[in-house]
Chains A and B, each alone.
Chain A
Amino acid sequence: MSSSTSPHASFDPWLLAILFLGIIGAPLLWLIAEQTGYTLAYQACDARSTSWVIVPTVGVLAIVGLVTFVVFRGHRTASTGRLPLPLLGWLGVGMAVLMIVVMAASAIAPMMLSPCD
């Protein structure tokens, strides 16, 4: 009987890693950006400068942009592979792009509002 530890027809591990970088890595980067913002919020208020929150968000946004580029290249390779690689490719690109939108939206609030008042 097959088990999760028995020999298994494998995919290219690098390609899988790239695709899951989009599916899991991009949301994880968003989480890191949120936690960094939470950590630095008091510092931002003390310094009366929202740069403490905006700069890390923009920095992580740039990293997510890079991740999206890498995942998109992986997606092009995956689209010719056997199932479920094409699906994972679309999921990876979709998730990475979604995280760009979400993080850009997250950066708008501290630019427009003054939460320390």
Chain B
Amino acid sequence: MTTRVLDVSRLPSFAFGHRSILWWATMGMILIEGTAFGLLAVSYIYLKWRVPEWPPGFAPPDLVWGTVTTIIILASALPNELARRAAERLDVPRARLWIWVSVIFAIAFCVTRALEFTTLNVWWDSNAYGSIVWFLLGTHTAHVVTDILDTGVLSTMLLIAPIDANRMVDVAENASYYYFVIASWLPIYVLLYLAPRLV
């Protein structure tokens, strides 16, 4: 009996996009967390259908800080994309630069998000509306905070640790996940800030 052996030594040790296992892990996370956001949005809409007046007994959240937050998070897509592209070119200095700019944007976002919580016009335990508003905003904030921690560690590693191509894959996938954080915010903004005024 003969044994056939494949020589795979010439295959690359890293890959970007769907050829990387990290990409599939990120997509799995996005699927799970996207489902959770979807369930929260459905809960909000269900509660809205149950009462004649919406928001029930409270003014809608003030527009200012929510809108500022939305502008900041949309603007943060630019450094995020530049970091992703630099990583895919294996351009370490630019990947390092743009990922740090992304961290600064995310911190600014957290500051305005904190101000957002002060202008929701309802407490988390006032009624079911208050609970779902705080929970939706809190869940999204948790994503931003964890993303800052993730990106902060990665950014620091780019400064102090050995850098190989796999680290650039991490940068690219970190950017992919951040797009989910941005994309998940837009429907929440419409639901919390615009829908109570328009519908």
Q: What residue of chain A has the Cβ atom nearest to residue B59's Cβ? A: A1
| Complex contact B161–A35 (CB within 8 A) | no
Q: How large is the interface on B (under 10, 10 to 19, 20 to 34, 35 or more residues)?
A: 20 to 34
* Complex contacts, A5 vs chain B, CB 8 Å: 118-119
| Complex contact B123–A39 (CB within 8 A) | no
| Complex contact A2–B122 (CB within 8 A) | yes
Main secondary structure of the interface of B (DSSP, over half): loop
| Complex contact B126–A2 (CB within 8 A) | yes
A88 to chain B, nearest CB (A): 10
| Complex contact A35–B153 (CB within 8 A) | yes
| Complex contact B161–A42 (CB within 8 A) | yes
Which residues from chain A sit less than 8 Å from chain B, CB to CB? Answer: 1-5, 8, 24, 31-32, 35, 38-39, 42, 84
* Complex contacts, A2 vs chain B, CB 8 Å: 57-58, 121-123, 126
- Which 8 pairs of residues, A with B, have the shortest CB-CB distance? A4-B120, A35-B153, A3-B121, A8-B123, A31-B146, A1-B59, A4-B121, A5-B118
* Complex contacts, A38 vs chain B, CB 8 Å: 153, 157
B106 to chain A, nearest CB (A): 15
* Complex contacts, A84 vs chain B, CB 8 Å: 125, 131
Question: With A24-B142, A31-B149, A35-B149 as given contacts, are A4 and B117 in contact (CB-CB < 8 Å)?
Answer: yes
Q: What residue of chain B has the Cβ atom nearest to residue A88's Cβ? A: B125
CB proximity to A under 8 Å, residues B145-186 = 146, 149-150, 153, 157, 161-162
B3 to chain A, nearest CB (A): 21
Which residue from B121, B149, B161 sits with its C-beta under 8 Å from A1? B121
| Complex contact B122–A39 (CB within 8 A) | no
